[in-house]
Amino acid sequence: MCKKCYISTPIYYASGKVQIGNSYTTVACDAFARFNRLMGRTTFYLTGMDEHGQKIEEASKKANMTPQELVDQVASDTKKLWQTMGIDYDYFIRTTDKNHEEVVAKIFERLLANDDIYLGSYSGHYCVSCESFFTKTQLGENDTCPDCGKPTKLVSEESYFLRLKKYASRLLQYINEHEDFIVPATRRNEVISFIESGLEDLCVSRTSFSWGIKVPSNPKHVIYVWIDALFNYLTALGYGSSDDKLYQEFWLNNDHVYHVVGKDILRFHAIYWPIMLMALDIPIKFKLYVHGWILTKDGKMSKSKGNAVYPMDLINRYGVDALRYYLTKELPLGNDGLFSYERFILRYNAELVNDLGNLVSRTLSMVNKYFDGQIPCAKVKTSYDLSLEQVATDAIQKTIQCFEEFRLQDGISETWQLVRRANKYIDETAPWILAKDEATKDALASVLYHLVESLRIIAVLVSPYLISTSKKILFAIDKEKANYRLDQLAFGEDFSQAKVNKIDNLFQRLDLEKELAYYESIKPQTPTIQEEIQSTINMEDFSKVVLKVGEIVKCEKHPNADKLLVSQIKIGTQTRQIVSGIANYYKPEELIGKKVVVVANLAKAKIRGVESEGMILCASNNDQLEVLEIKNLPSGAIIK
Ligand code: MSP
């Protein structure tokens, strides 16, 4: 059995916040890495940030930051998010790391010296968002990007090119000889036909912006971000540096190297990356697992469409395990999955609350009730017991097999065969009837032993994705200190002397209607005034707005909406009621006594059933919000 394993996610663009769609690769790879560790393999799990390129330069301008400030901020936020999500990576690479930059610059020069890269001139359509060039025939309507639909830019400049044509037939031969190089086969076929349709040499440098690694011998050129980024898989292991021990161990002398990527970046990993490795005489050690997208009912998640869902929003409401479970279970290898709140809640209630949560709580309560918490042993075995043992043995073997092939969704289904069978076994064996008669005490003990032992097996099988749930189950059956190995897992643990421990319910049932009503209430409002009115206004328009100082004298939560607060505000001699969407940022008591800026002549409105007369002005930036405060002037003062 192979004892080593190297797993990598793509490195994330440091231009924005991770949403649940693109968190998938990292969650899935984390589950895969945990699985491999449980199989006894020394595992190196790499993730990180893609921090160069025009997209980042432009995002930093918008955010009024330097590119370095922006990427530092995004890298720090992303690391915190991964920590919260239980992502147990071994290294977090950033392409602005000095070592990475130096090695990439050297590699570029080497490819240039070997004539695998040459200087030419480029004219073509470039999509800044995807950092990709497209030929005229690939473009969408009005020269839009075929991948993301945004407008492309016509770029014409002196550029370096990587010789792809030269390596096309060697690459085809490699793919044909290594059937499992690209999995699933549909993606492999896609790559084969792309190569067969003819490869053009790839433009690998840009001169129209500066945020990137400069070509040392011609520094007005910045190395194409994809060339820079792909080498992260090697620089993270110390390739090209004075200490390349990890490169030797996890790349050169390892047959279990996996790159896991979404289908949108297949071409880069299946064509450009292996060709560069061939040009550099570095063995192609990796296998490519290609997954689909998590879609919403209106397509791919994106901030601009307003349909992005962020991991922390779900985690704060339902916990990390619920999100990890959903993502891992939702996406079959190769195909797309769907996200909707309804689907999330239904899956949560059916699979986590009903199936797993119930099995655990029923088992523990029966051990408490019938054996005073002492886990019994099985002296006799019925055909039901033997059949449950068989299901458990099959579940172990089949779950392992699926996880080995990165079929995580199928692996979870195999484990759930045991979860469901164990629930059915309770109904079939009816322990509450066995408990009525002393003569069936041994049979009852056997049933409960089989249930507790099933829980132990389930806890180990789910541990790659349900991290804290697994720990809680093992704690409940007094096995939290055991160091289980998946490849040694078998039915028949000895529980003598062990007592069950009390735990809270693993998952709370969710009220679908209530949850959906909540999401309806926080749906982004129709565009704000600022977004809607792009044109300028004149003084006359502005003077129509009456702004006054108001003092908040009372404030409470809105009865029908979690995001809203209802304030009573003294403006001179009168008191007004104003509803504002600031409950995520202030507790009601924090606002009392504050003197704020109020739009005093706004038409009255009913906001989710509560009357509001005016508006409190606030400043906001991404996730922060602050009400504007006046220090010295009294309430009622006019602001102009
Ligand atoms: N920076 C490049 C990768 C360079 S690797 C040398 C990149 N970054 S990304 O942030 O856009 O994407 C990171 C990962 O998220 C990719 O695997 C991508 O396919 C995946 N996903 C982005 N949106 C997704 C969904 N909606 N659903 C599932 N995965 C998706 O690409």
DSSP one-letter string for 222-281: EEPHHHHHHTHHHHTTTTTSS--HHIIIIIIT-S-EEEEEEGGGHHIIIIIHHHHHHHTT
Q: Which of 488, 520, 555 is the last residue of a domain?
A: 488
Q: Residue 450: which CATH number?
A: 1.10.730.10
* pTM for this prediction: 0.81
Q: Does residue 633 form part of some domain?
A: yes
Q: Is residue 77 situated within a structural domain?
A: no
Q: Is 300 in the pocket of ligand 1 (CB under 6 A)?
A: yes
Whether 276 lines ligand 1, by a CB cut-off of 6 Å, is no
Give the atom of ligand 1 at the shortest distance from the alpha carbon of 331.
28
Protein residue with its CA nearest to atom 20 in ligand 1: 22
The whole-number average pLDDT for the span 9-33 is 95
DSSP of 316-339, one letter per residue? HHH-HHHHHHHHHHH--TTS-EE-
Q: Is the CB of 27 under 6 A from ligand 1?
A: no
Alpha-carbon span 246 to 244, nearest angstrom = 5
Determine, yes or no, domain membership for 582.
yes
475 and 354 inside one domain: yes
Lowest mean pLDDT among 18-22, 249-253, 424-428: 18-22
Atom of ligand 1 nearest to the CA of 261: 17
User: Are both 451 and 391 inside the same structural domain?
Assistant: yes
pLDDT per position as a tens digit, 177-215: 999 999 999 999 999 999 999 999 999 999 989 999 999
Residue 316 has a pLDDT of: 96
pLDDT tens digits along 88-109: 999 999 999 999 999 999 999 9
Name the average pLDDT for the chain: 93
What is the tens place of the pLDDT at every residue in 275-334? 999 999 999 999 999 999 999 988 888 777 778 899 999 999 999 999 999 999 999 888
Q: DSSP character for 181?
A: S
Shared domain for 348 and 482, answered yes or no, is yes
pLDDT at 528 exceeding the cut of 50: no
How far is Cα 597 from Cα 637, in angstroms, rounded to an integer? 10
Q: How confident is the model at residue 524 (pLDDT cuts 50, 70, 90)?
A: low
Site to substitute for ligand 1 among 9, 23, 24, 132, most atoms within 8 A of C-beta: 24
β-pairing verdict for 222-223 and 257-262: unpaired
Q: In this model, does residue 115 exceed pLDDT 70?
A: yes
Q: Which of 488, 520, 553 is the last residue of a domain?
A: 488
Number of domains in the chain: 2
Find the 510 Cα to ligand 1 centroid distance in Å.
31
Is 439 found in the same domain as 578? Answer: no
Maximum alpha-carbon separation in the chain? 93
Taking CA atoms only, the protein residue closest to ligand 1 atom 6 is 230
The whole-number average pLDDT for the span 115-137 is: 87
Q: Find out whether the beta carbon of 48 lies less than 6 Å from any atom of ligand 1.
A: no
Residues 449 and 547 both lie in one domain: no
Nearest to 466 by CA among 412, 420, 514, 401: 412
Cβ 261 under 6 angstroms from ligand 1: yes
- Span 262-282, pLDDT tens digits: 999 999 999 999 999 999 999
Q: Is 265 in the pocket of ligand 1 (CB under 6 A)?
A: yes
Report pLDDT for 533: 38
Does ligand 1 come within 6 angstroms of the Cβ of 319? Answer: no
Q: Is the pLDDT of residue 33 over 70?
A: yes
C-alpha torsion sign, points 610, 615, 620, 624? negative
Average pLDDT over residues 529-547: 61
Q: What is the pLDDT of residue 529?
A: 40
Q: Whose CA is nearest to atom 19 of ligand 1?
A: 262
Residue 22 Cβ inside 6 Å of ligand 1? The answer reads: yes
**Does any ligand 1 atom lie closer than 6 A to the CB of residue 286?**
no
Same-domain check for residues 481 and 553: no
Does ligand 1 have an atom closer than 6 angstroms to the CB of 290? Answer: no
Distance between CA 429 and CA 366 in Å, rounded?
Answer: 13
Residues 405 and 533 in one domain: no
Residues 470 and 591 reside in one and the same domain: no
Residue 95: CB within 6 Å of ligand 1?
no
- State the residue range of the domain holding 578: 529-639
Pocket flag, ligand 1, residue 271 (CB < 6 Å): no
From ligand 1's centre to the CA of 109, what distance in Å? 28
Cα of 607 vs centre of ligand 1, distance in Å, is 39
**Contact, 274 vs 169, CB < 8 A?**
no
> 25 in ligand 1 pocket by Cβ < 6 Å?
yes
Give the CATH number, domain containing residue 579: 2.40.50.140
Residue 525 has pLDDT above 70, yes or no: no
Q: What is the pLDDT of residue 2?
A: 67
Residues 534 and 483 in one domain: no
Ligand 1 atom 21: the closest Cα is on which residue? 22
- What is the Å distance from ligand 1's center to 18 Cα? 10
**77 band by pLDDT with thresholds 50, 70 and 90:** very high
Identify whether residues 360 and 462 lie together within a single domain: yes
The residue ranking higher by pLDDT, 539 or 120, is 120
321 CA from centroid of ligand 1 (Å):
22
Among the atoms of ligand 1, which is closest to the Cα of residue 294? 27
CA 25 – ligand 1 centroid, Å: 7
pLDDT over 60 (residue 632): yes
Buried b (16+ CB within 10 A) or exposed e, 154-181: ebebebbbbbbeebbeebeeebeeeeeb
Ligand 1 geometric centre to CA of 475 (Å)? 36
Residue 374 lies in a domain: yes
Instruction: Please give the DSSP secondary-structure letter assigned to residue 119.
Output: E
Whether 47 contacts 11, CB under 8 Å: yes
Q: Dihedral of CA 219/223/228/229: which sign? A: positive
Cβ-in-10-Å burial (0-12, 13-18, 19+) of 102 comes to middle
Residue 617 lies in a domain: yes
Question: What's the gap in Å between 121 CA and the centre of ligand 1?
Answer: 30
| Ligand 1 pocket, residue 293 CB under 6 Å | yes
Q: End of a domain among 437, 469, 488?
A: 488
- In this structure, which residue's CA is closest to atom 26 in ligand 1? 21
CB 163 within 8 A of CB 117: yes
Residue 313: which H helix or E strand, with range?
A: helix 311-318
* Cα 288 to ligand 1 centre (Å): 14
Same domain, 478 and 546: no
Does any ligand 1 atom lie closer than 6 A to the CB of residue 224?
Answer: no
Is 49 inside a domain boundary? Answer: no
The token pair at 597 is 């800026």
Cα–Cα distance for residue pair 303/21, rounded to 1 Å: 11
On whether both 345 and 484 belong to a single domain, the answer is: yes
Distance 234 CA to ligand 1 centre (A): 19
Q: Is residue 408 part of a domain?
A: yes
Asked if residue 215 is part of any domain, the answer here is: no
pLDDT at 141: 85
Name the residue with the closest Cα to ligand 1, atom 22.
Answer: 22
